[in-house]
Amino acid sequence: GKVLYNQQFVERSKLIDIEDRGYQFGDGIYEVIGVYDGAFFLLDEHLQRLKRSAKEIQLSLPYELTELKEKLVELVSLNVLTDGVVYLQITRGEAERWHHFPHESVTPILIAYTKIEETLDEASKNGASAVLTEDIRWLRCDIKTLNLLPNVIAKQKAVENNAVEAILHRGDVITEASASNVFMVKDGKVFTHPANNYILNGITRQKVLELCDKLQITVQEEAFTIHDLLAADELFITATKLDIVPIIQVDNQPIGSEIPGETTKKIIQAFHSSLQALRIS
């Protein structure tokens, strides 16, 4: 398929220079945006987060969000993507390798491409397992940067243990997972880590909070511990295109009754209705 390279649609080839700062330093930001039945889900929210990430690393967006939005819609239609994601990244550009920011004449490099990705229907319906691992990331996890090595290592541990995710903890406190946010249900209340520097404020997370509000489910954005998590009635994770996946086992220990719980199922149903609304609009 075609790749959006700055403002042009080009063929996928050797586009990236060996001295691209994303390649050498992870000096850049990204977004993964879900596409369902050919339509973007929560595109504006993703672009707003992109803008915030750019600001936090002092990177100027190479062009306006409204123009970028049009280009992304065009990319999806050019590649005839029905179900999948758009991966978008912006690096600080190509420059001789020095740690400090390059001269202002060096412009950021934006790329975006489409990727076919199916939703995890089986896991979403029956639940899946997760493992626990120490959160060894830096202290600005709220920025969606390209530096994902700790996440990569955590996810590898999950895969080696036939689990869908690695749930991260900083000491005793559960933060999030390697590529998703974590929610726990206890006595009918939903708990999730507050959106501060220790987690990425997921777009799916924010949607779930909005749905809980509509469903009149009490939410407490409060940190909880490993002990709380293992004693939870229900547990689930959220992320783009993964949507909502119930977690029924952690480190081989059952969570609640080891089946997707009632509160989780209610939220999943409401989430599916939002996706359905997207198909109609």
Active site residues: 144
Q: Looking at residues 21 to 40 of the shown chain, list those that interact with ligand PLP (rule: CB under 6 A).
A: 32
Q: Which of 204, 212, 232, 267 binds ligand PLP (CB under 6 A)?
A: 204
Least distance in Å: CB of 135 to ligand PLP?
Answer: 10
Q: Contact between 240 and ligand PLP (CB under 6 A)?
A: yes
Q: Contact between 174 and ligand PLP (CB under 6 A)?
A: no
Phi, psi for residue 127 in degrees, rounded to 5: 90, 165
Residues that contact ligand PLP, how many (by CB under 6 A): 14
Contact stretch for ligand PLP (CB under 6 A) within 14-22, 94-102, 114-122, 200-208: 200-208
Q: Contact between 155 and ligand PLP (CB under 6 A)?
A: no
Cβ proximity to ligand PLP: between 181 and 263 the closer is 181
Least distance in Å: CB of 166 to ligand PLP?
Answer: 10
Q: Contact between 179 and ligand PLP (CB under 6 A)?
A: yes
State which residue has the least CB distance to ligand PLP: 202
Q: Contact between 181 and ligand PLP (CB under 6 A)?
A: yes
Least distance in Å: CB of 100 to ligand PLP?
Answer: 27
Q: Which of 53, 133, 180, 192 binds ligand PLP (CB under 6 A)?
A: 180
Burial category of 237 from C-beta neighbours within 10 Å (exposed 0-12, middle 13-18, buried 19 and up): buried
Q: Write out the DSSP string of the chain.
A: -EEEETTEEEESSS-S-TTBHHHHH--EEEEEEEEETTEESSHHHHHHHHHHHHHHTT---SS-HHHHHHHHHHHHHHTT--SEEEEEEEE--B-SS-SSPPPTTSPPEEEEEEEE----HHHHHH-EEEEEEE----S-TTS-BS--HHHHHHHHHHHHTT-SEEEEEETTEEEEETTBEEEEEETTEEEE--SSTTS---HHHHHHHHHHHHTT--EEE--EEHHHHHT-SEEEEEETTTEEEEEEEETTEE-TTSS--HHHHHHHHHHHHHHHHHHH-
Contact stretch for ligand PLP (CB under 6 A) within 14-22, 212-220, 233-241, 263-271: 233-241
Q: Which of 20, 27, 94, 176 binds ligand PLP (CB under 6 A)?
A: 176
Q: Contact between 239 and ligand PLP (CB under 6 A)?
A: yes
Query: Which positions lie near ligand PLP, rule CB under 6 A?
Result: 32, 151, 176, 179-181, 200, 202-205, 238-240
